Each structure stands twice: as structure tokens, then as C-alpha cells.
Chain A
């Protein structure tokens, strides 16, 4: 077993793995400080050549037997996507055009193996600056639902993700679902990802856009860009410029460099900051071309 004795200290109980079927059990384990695993597609890569149990973790809580946290429900005023819903389930679900951006993400995350196991909840809770799900869900205006023994909290996604690998999840909570409001009119959305190769690629820049069209005009627009700041950002100035426009016109002409002010790209192994800044503008223009088409 992986439990160990320190030369001086007492024997430490080996950490345990638990996969409860009952939500109450899961919440109790979480209350006791359990660390969470869902699809495992971020969990294991972080532990290559290292012990699977982190120091001071009493228990790893596997959520995947909790059926109520899986699947997509069409409810009054919203769609609810269970945190354990896999990318493949999202890609293959019969969803309205509003969800095209999320379904496009689902088809581009990793390869098919990753899509079959990786979950939407894991993507958000892992909070990588390059998580593809984040801009899409920001564009969809999503909220996240958090459960603990103390009850339920709902947070807008923008408040939930605070920084790279930093989320507003309390140590006793689990993320249970993503809640997405229904549009007023006819909504559609789109997703554009730029990477340095075709498959299995971490985004250099990605953007998602959502338009709620009432009559022929844009009643609400949400545009979000990822991998260009510690957390994916919405572009409020651009959204304001889009509001009221005729939806089928060539929208990309409206994009101005200053709309991208909320972005703070950095240099990394994938690209320079300067490149990201410029590519983000191009990505957003192409996104709007797709949204106008």
C-alpha cells in the first residue's frame, strides 16, 4: 500500500479510494476532506511518475457512480448539464443551435478517448487557462451549481473561476451541474480554436460567441476569449456593439482592436504574447463571420 511511516511520526492511515453510489455519502466524504476525481483526464496526467495520492489527502472521492450528476435536462427556463456529463454525450445530444459552441468544443477536446471520459465539470474545476469549455460556457451565460452538506449554491461561471487553477469551490463542496439560461428569441453560437496541430492540441487562442436574435436583430450577444488571460474573458464592449445589429449582416466588420482590451496574453511555449493578441483579433473576426453565416 501507499501509506507510509515517517521516521518520527505515528503511522499514517493509507489514503483510500471511494466511489459511492449515494450523493449523501459523497458529500460526507467531501466534508471529511476528500479529493475529487471524475473522468480522470486531468487527474492522472498531473501525477505521472508521482504517487496517485497527494500528501495529506485522506481519501480520493470518485464521483462517477452518482447517476444524478450525469446527463442533460431541458427544464423550464434553462438547460441543466450534470457535472459528470462527458464531452461525447454533449457532442451527441440533440441540442438546439444555442449549444453549437459547446458541441464544437466537445468534438475538439483531446481525442475521442478523452471525449469519452472527460467531463464538463472536470474541465471547469480544473480551471486551466486553456480549458476550451470555459469560453463556451461564458458565452452561454452559464451558472454553476455547487452542493455540500450545507446545501446548494449557484454562482455565475465568471465568479466561480478566479484564476488559473483557482476556483470558488469550498473544500466541502462538489460541482453538481452547469445551468444554462434559455434565450429570448432564436439563439445560435459558434466556437473557433487555434492550435499548432490538428488533434490533441492545447489552444493557443480560442473564442466562443453566442447571439440571441429576436426578430432580425441581436437582442443579446456574448463573446468570450480563452488562453489570452489567466481566466477566459468576455468582451463587453464588443457585445455592446453587436446588440441591436441585424443578425445576418457581416458582423466581423464591427470588431475593433480596442474591444480586446480585457485580454492580457502572455508568452509561453506555444506562442508569444504579441502573436496571441493579434491572433485573438483574427479569431474573433472569424468567429463573427461564422455567426453571421
Chain B
């Protein structure tokens, strides 16, 4: 110690230049530059997605070179020039690069965008007309979970060309995002960005055990010994300590009460200053544990005593569909294919970790969070805090990716409770490991499927059972267990079917909603069965699918007679040229390359738009002010998929005005009506229709007004509007009976994807070279955004197929949990098919989830064609594929 104090410390002042302005920082030099930029200099455009160098969201320039601001001590910036996204264009001007991003639709949720822009600026100063691979190398350190990277690469390559930005697009236009400029300039406010500077913070201490009894020790003493800590919170402090998606299943505690049911379950929490909260070391918190044997996997679940009272064999939900008589048909079928696949937990890995804050205002509470589900979350919070609904106002921030993972409560209950009890604004930002440990996952599924066809190649019967690991709490388990059997055979005519989905509780993270609600998992099995049947017949995979594809007027396995909006055959036709050409090219390639082989796979899919047989209305409101200004009050949250833009396009087109004349208010329970959840690919279809109806209503009301001048003399409502159009739409569906018969959805999206893959037989590594994707979206309200959804869905499909496997305690960060980077994406070709639905706005259906479903099965078909093997444990990691290849080849 003496030695240390004898030395002259460098002065605690750091002088640096930030975006051209000289700045002085006084304080601890070890603090991360990212924190200093955001919290000391107020430059919130620099995003923090991991604090570990893995995501690149924090990328800024240091003396012109890109760096991760989360890995640089501010002390190292003495004398340096830092450029952040705020320094790119200007307060109100976009740089050429930003304009190119806007024109290409390269930002979806936008949370990765500042990092992408900075990495690209670094490249463009080194090389003014870079090649595609130079772009990929330079931007390869930034992850994007939304775009599949293609439009980002194109935006950087095209930067020199003057970008054509469509600002006032009607329905059908490639309109630029209405919230694009804010995302590109770094002024968009996400969950962590609005937390007031004087806010306290809350932090949960989470179970390190998958299953354990626990008892908090003397937390008061712990708090008292740490200056800055204000109080501890335990289960006892929560007025109603249970929540959940279903009105009748509230099984998840805000803070666990004596029993931790998964690694990551919140046990106790602390409130205090940010510094005090960050100084807590989890292992020092006085909690005693009695670890219990954990239920891992569905087989263990069946044998174990119930994790939740009354759940025999730990079954949460069990759903099924039966039509015809499969037993008779399987007995006499010409060909039968049987397959079994097992998938893993998959993490949403949105680049924005969960974040938000709450503030008490007298007897009411205002909660600002990044959410896909504002109205249900308001209701849940009111219940948890024992407050009337009207006492809670929930305002959604911009959302940096959701994919289903922000449909459940996350930071909300603790910020709400802490703000209520402490009467101070309280914020909470999950760390990346916390986000990964705490949040819901895609259900691991063991899917068994059996399909039969007759000698002419007509599908005759289909059986399947998906056993789903639903983890510790119900979350969206019942939704998944019900959606899977309805979709199980794929978009084909199947006269006899019996399908089932069963979800089991285990001591794993709660499995919830994730793009596709279980359908991607089950499609892997059913599409493999289709390949196998086609092979047994000696028929081309594409021809077999086309022969059996659903058409208008056909009956689904739930007995629903489809109306005109069935574009599956057109999607198959659209990819056929790629299927044929790539198969030929692969054959030529393979002849000259014994140890690296190519293969082409194909997969079809369908997806019911909106909730399964449940009412899921959206209500929209459009107001006009005395001066003629139009406001769209939109309860639907844009999570990057682009509903803000699409809904504005629909409103503008219907009202016959320019989109730029419409002001948007999003996701505020005090100002907007309930437009349901951003899930089930429903916002364009359901909310879009409500928006169209609202616009028509306003138009009709305006027609009654003599002229615009008359508006000035009309009385204003509490929004300041003189007239308001209302629209409400609830898609027409019926309940499913005990055999699963009925009309679960008003319409379906359809898709076919073809994948060309290349496998290194010695390493078992797979590279997806090309994907051709044709999607029937009814009507592409914004074709650029449809492509963006397809690209992003495909990227997530590649991750699901080849690399993503969440293992609690082992892959709780973005360097052990791998998602696709720039270099893992194929060339993607999109074909949009429009088989309009009578129900949707302008015929539109949805595309958010359908984008993902076909990708993995198409890749697996390609791998099979390249290697002759099928790996049945997903993801197909190199060691799994290599083991299968070795087994087939015999040890060399």
C-alpha cells in the first residue's frame, strides 16, 4: 500500500474531444467510455448491448478507428478524438451514409444501427468504394438480430449513389421508416435511454441453482452497511406476487417465495443509487440455499412430482387435432415416413437488453418500458400492486428487438414496486447475462412425426406429437402447445390426421413466445417427413410438395375450408427456377469436390395470423385537430418490424393524405386504445384493419363538415382533437372443439424457401450459400419491410438450424451463445406473392413469423442432399454433423 501511495497518480482529469467539441472528464478513469458518453455527456446514441465486446452496439470512433466503447477505460481517451453517432450528420441533417441506410431500410429496430454506422464510417475513411467482403470484414464486429444484414451491406455499398428516400408512400410503396431518422441519428429513446439522471436503480439477485429452497438472511444489515443502498425487496413486499399471460394461470412470482424454480429466478432485490447497486457482488448477498434435484428435460418432468400444485406429470397444456382415421390409413399406405427431432432452448438475443423505469405520481404510477405488450402489462402491474388499472400508465419506449421475448413482464414489476414504495423514479437495466438467464426461451421440442402417402404421391395421413419443455413457469406454453398441432402437417391437404402438443414444466428457464410459437420446431419434423416420402416415391421434393399443397376451397386438418387467400402453390412456383438451377449447379460442383459437397433443400410452411381461436381485437383512433393536423393514436408497439410505418401508410392512403402529415403516438395506455400484443404476426393484419376502419370513420365524419375552416370552431377533446375516427377489428375465428375442429384463424401466411448449402465433410461445418424465399403476404403494404422481415427471419432460421443452443449457466452471454454474423448469411432472394385476404387491410396478412419457419427445414434438406445424413439433434453443430457423417462413412 505504501508503494502505491508513494507514486504520483495520473491526474483524474481526462481531456478529450467528443464529436469535435473539447470535453473534460473528472472521475474514475477505469469507467467504461460507453457509460461516460451516455451518462456524463448525455450522448445516448451509443448503445450498450452486452458490455463485453460481443455485440458492437457501442461502437464509436477513437481517433478515426472503430472501437467498442464498453471495453475502453475513459482514462485511455486522454487526448483522443471520439466520434459517436451524434457526430455523423448533425442535429437535423443526415449524412450520406445515414441517408443510404434510410433508403435501403437497413435499420429495423435500430438498436444496432449506431454501431453499424460507426463501423461503416471507419471503413469508408479507409476505402471509399469497398467490396462486399471488405464491408463484411469491417462491420463483422457488430451484431444485428433483425435485418439479416443484407440491407446493411447494400446501404454501405451504395453510399456513393444518391439515395432515393420514399417519404410519403401509400399502401404498396417502399416507404422509408417513419421513425427511421430518429434511429439513424441516435435520438430514438429505447428502454434504458429515458431513465432520469436522478433515478434510483433496482437490481434482482437471481438463483444460481435450477431448483433450490432459499432463505434471505439479514438484508437490512446488508443494506445498512452499503452507503447508497436504500432498501431490500423480498416476496413479502409484493402485494400480489403472481403474474402470467393467461387470466387463469398466474404462476410466476415477481420475487420467488422460498423456492427458486430455475437458474435466473429473482429471489430478492435491492434499491439504491446506481453506484451502490453496481457495487453489489451477488455472492456477498446473504441468502442460504438448499439445492434440490432439478427436473431437466420432459422425460424427467413426467416422472417427477409436480413443480406447480395440481400439475400431474408436470403437464401444463396438452392440445390436439383429430380428423379422419389415421390408423386405417397408415395400415394400408403405399409409403410411410417416420421421423424424430429434438430442438434446444433458443434465446431471443435482441440486442437491447430489457430496460425501463417507473415514477410514482401521487396515487398513480407511470411506467416506461421496452415492451411488446403494453396493455396487458399495465393490467398485470395494477394487479401486482393492488391498484386500479387507471392508476397505472404504461408508456412503451422504442423497442430494440423483441421477437416474442418482450411479451412477458421483465423489469416492470420491480421498477413499479420500487418506485411505488420509495416514491422516487427507479430504473432497471438488465445486464446481458441477466437478460439471458432471466428471459423466456424458444421451447425445446421433441417432435415425432409420421406421414403417409398413396402410390400416386397423395398425402393420406399425418400423425405427430410435439413434447415441449416449457420450463419453470407457464408464460406462453399453452399458446405454443395449441398452435403446434394445428400447423403440424404443414400447408398440405391431409385427409386423416392426429396431432398433439404437450408442454411440461421443468426447472429450466420459462419457455415462452418466440417468433413462430413452436411451429418452426414442428416444421423441421414434418418437412423432413415430406422429403422422405418423396424419396420413397422417387419424386422430386418440389413436385411432391406442389402436388399436395393446399388450394382455395381445400379443407385443413381442423376442418376449416380455406377462402381465396391461399398462395402456397404460387410460392412454390416462384422458387422453382432456383430449385432447378441450384440442384444442377450443386451436381456439377460435387463431381469436382469429393470432400466439400453441396446440397439443395426446400421447405413449405404456413402460419395462422393472429391468436389461435381467441378473440384478439385491435382498436385504433385517428384524430384531427382544429388546424387540420392528423394524429394516429396507436396502441400497437413497433418492435422494429415496422408497424409504425405500415399503419401510417394505411392511414394516409385511406384518408388520401401524405404520410408525413400524420403524427404518431405509440403504445401509451393513457393516450391510445388497446391494439393488442405485437405477436402472432398480427399487427399489419389486425391493427392494420382497425387503422383502415378508423381512417374510414374519420373520413366519413369529415365529409359531414362543410370545409376545413369549420374545424377551427369545433370543440376539442382532451387530446386537442375536434373529430376522431374509431376502428375496431377482431379477426373472425371459432373455438376449436374437443377434436380440434373449427376455424382457428381468419387467414394464413404461406411460404416456400429453397436453401443451397455447402458442407465440409471432414469438419462437419455447414455454410448456407443461397436462400430463395417466396412468401404470400396477401398484400405487401411495404415491400421493403416485407423483405426485411424475410431476411431477418431467415437469419434467425439459420441460427436455429446451425448454431443456437442456450444452456443455462453456460451460454449466458453473446460469445458462448452464437447468433449469425455478417459472414454467416447467404445471398438472399425474396419473391413476394400476394393472395389477398378479404379480412385484412388492402388484403394484407402478416409475415413476421412465417419468415422464419421454412429456413431450418430447407437447410436440413440441403445438408441431407450434400451428405446423405440427417442430424436429429438441433442445432446441427459441426461435431454433431461430423459424428453422423463418420457413422455413415465408417471410421476412416
Contacts and interface: CB of A to CB of B under 8 A. Distances in A.
Interface of A: 1-2, 4-7, 13, 16-21, 25, 28-29, 31-34, 37, 39-41, 43-45, 48-53, 55, 58-60, 62, 64-65, 88, 110-114, 116-117, 194, 196-202, 204, 269-272, 274-276, 278-279, 282
A16 B9 contact: yes
B75 A19 contact: yes
Contacts of A269: 805, 807, 810-811, 816
B275 A1 contact: yes
The 7 closest A-B pairs by CB, nearest first: A111-B141, A198-B823, A32-B3, A275-B879, A199-B140, A32-B4, A45-B52
Interface residues of B, number: 80
Contacts of A62: 29-30, 73, 75-76
Nearest to A40: B71
B73 A40 contact: yes
B40 interface: no
Contacts of A19: 10, 29, 75-76, 78
A135 B376 CA distance: 55
Interface string B762-788: 111100000000000000000000000
Given A48-B50, A48-B433, A201-B818, A271 B810 contact: no
B821 to A, nearest CB: 4
B431 A194 contact: no
A111 B879 CA distance: 25
A208 to B, nearest CB: 18
B510 interface: no
A39 B67 CA distance: 10
Contact of B73 (A6, A37, A49, A194): A37
Given A25-B8, A29-B4, A196-B877, A51 B51 contact: no
B221 interface: yes
Given A113-B141, A200-B815, 14 more contacts: A17-B29, A18-B7, A18-B9, A32-B6, A58-B4, A65-B10, A112-B138, A194-B878, A196-B877, A199-B823, A271-B879, A274-B883, A278-B882, A282-B762
A215 B223 CA distance: 74
A282 B762 CA distance: 7
B122 interface: yes
Given A17-B30, A196-B877, A202 B815 contact: yes
B883 A275 contact: yes
Interface stretch (B53-61, B248-256, B521-529): B53-61
B281 A50 contact: yes
Nearest to B118: A113
A112 B67 CA distance: 8
A148 to B, nearest CB: 12
Interface string B410-446: 0000000000000000000001111000000000000
A279 B763 contact: yes
A73 to B, nearest CB: 23
Interface of B: 1-4, 6-10, 28-32, 50-54, 56, 59, 62, 65-68, 70-73, 75-76, 78, 119, 122, 136-138, 140-143, 221, 224-227, 275, 278-279, 281, 431-434, 762-765, 802-803, 805, 807, 810-811, 813, 815-816, 818, 820-824, 877-879, 882-883, 886
A116 B225 contact: no
A113 B53 contact: yes
A282 to B, nearest CB: 5
Nearest to A86: B65
Given A4-B279, A116-B66, A117-B67, A197 B818 contact: yes
Given A1-B28, A88-B65, A197-B824, A113 B56 contact: yes
B56 A17 contact: no
B820 A279 contact: no
Mostly, the A contact residues are: loop
A198 B819 CA distance: 10
Given A5-B227, A17-B28, A20-B7, A279 B882 contact: yes
A24 to B, nearest CB: 9
Contacts of B802: 196
Contact of B76 (A48, A64, A276): A64
Contacts of B4: 16, 29, 32-34, 58-59
A25 B7 contact: yes
B431 A49 contact: yes
7 contacts: A2-B275, A7-B221, A13-B1, A32-B3, A112-B119, A117-B67, A198-B821
Q: Which of B62, B71, B141, B431 has most chain A Cβ within 10 Å?
A: B71
Contacts of A5: 225, 227
A44 B70 CA distance: 8
Contacts of B54: 45, 200
Contact of A20 (B10, B50, B281, B822): B10
Contacts of A7: 221, 224-225
Contacts of B30: 17, 37, 52-53, 60, 62
B433 A113 contact: no
Q: Which of B7, B821, B883 has most chain A Cβ within 10 Å?
A: B7
Contacts of A52: 30-31
A6 B225 CA distance: 6
Contacts of A65: 10, 78
A200 B762 CA distance: 23
B28 A199 contact: no
A68 to B, nearest CB: 17
Contact of A48 (B10, B119, B805, B813): B813
Q: Which of B9, B59, B811 has most chain A Cβ within 10 Å?
A: B9
A21 B138 CA distance: 32
Contacts of A39: 71
Nearest to A28: B7
Nearest to B79: A65
A287 B52 CA distance: 31
Contacts of B29: 17-19, 62
Nearest to B74: A17
A41 B7 contact: no
Contact of B818 (A40, A41, A196): A196
Contacts of B1: 13, 32-33, 58
Contacts of A55: 281
A32 B73 CA distance: 21
A18 B66 contact: no
A13 B140 CA distance: 42
Given A7-B225, A113-B141, A282-B763, A197 B820 contact: yes
Contacts of A50: 281
A117 B68 contact: yes
A25 B4 CA distance: 9
Given A17-B75, A32-B7, A112 B141 contact: yes
Contact of B141 (A13, A25, A114): A114
Nearest to A64: B76
Contacts of B764: 275
A45 B53 contact: yes
A70 B763 CA distance: 38
A46 B363 CA distance: 43
A82 B120 CA distance: 29
Nearest to A205: B763
B709 to A, nearest CB: 58
A21 B72 CA distance: 18
A233 B32 CA distance: 35
Nearest to B881: A275
A223 to B, nearest CB: 18
Contacts of A51: 278-279, 281
B59 A113 contact: yes
